[in-house]
Structure 1
Amino acid sequence: MGKKKTNSIIRIQKAVRASKRKYTSSLHDLSQESVPGEMVTTIIEHPPSVPCGDEYNALQEILSTTPGVFWKPRRKKEYIIDSSQLKPWQIIGFEHYADYIGYLGTNALSNHTADLDFLFNDDKENYND
């Protein structure tokens, strides 16, 4: 039996279709991943605390003996930062997803950790198959 001869045009069309599928899926992933997350910062202001006991007496003594000195209590601010909506590339410090992809490509890094898990003997999956 002889080797089946394939038509070159059909072979090229299949390769083009496969590359288009690959390109559109990676473009779709890029568009979904490139939407940045948002860091939510909540500021809670607490009323100023009045010194008590000896601190209050010392403060009153300083204020009464020194002209031009006054006490201005300030509100205490409590900052609550929620970074759970940030994407991993934002946490690393990149402002745009395209910059992150370019960094990975330039430094020949993979976006997947499975390769590194194999190097560091992480036995979550069996890679010897």
Structure 2
Amino acid sequence: MSSNGQPPRFAPTREEIETLALVALSRLPSPFTEHLSDVVLFVEDFADAAILKEMELSDPFELTGLYSGRSIGQEAQTGDGPPTVHLFRRPLLDEWVETGVPLDALITHVVVHEIGHHFGLSDIDMHVLEDMVTL
């Protein structure tokens, strides 16, 4: 127990981040939800070195999420894997602490942004979609 009699609070786990992401995804309106069954969600502590190199990032804390795959409407190629959304726990937690934005709102923001890439949305469209999800 901590000095205030409460159990110690630890940083949210990957599983807790995944739960928040799944809640955000579940709030997406139709027709978006109808096109998400093949999208795979991963929660990892950091992006790996290959991703950072590809993104030309030297600091792993700079990347909170990543969409990989073809946008809806792009022709699939032989050998394409399923589209994926990666959330990077440690950068998300740092941003959460630094900004004071509620964690569920931050996760929703990143998830909507990454899913927006799946649909080929513009940044403006992503903001509109995020507003629909957070209402």
Q: Classify the TM-score, shorter chain.
A: under 0.3
TM-score (norm 2): 0.26
Q: Which structure: larger Rg?
A: 1
TM-score (norm 1): 0.27
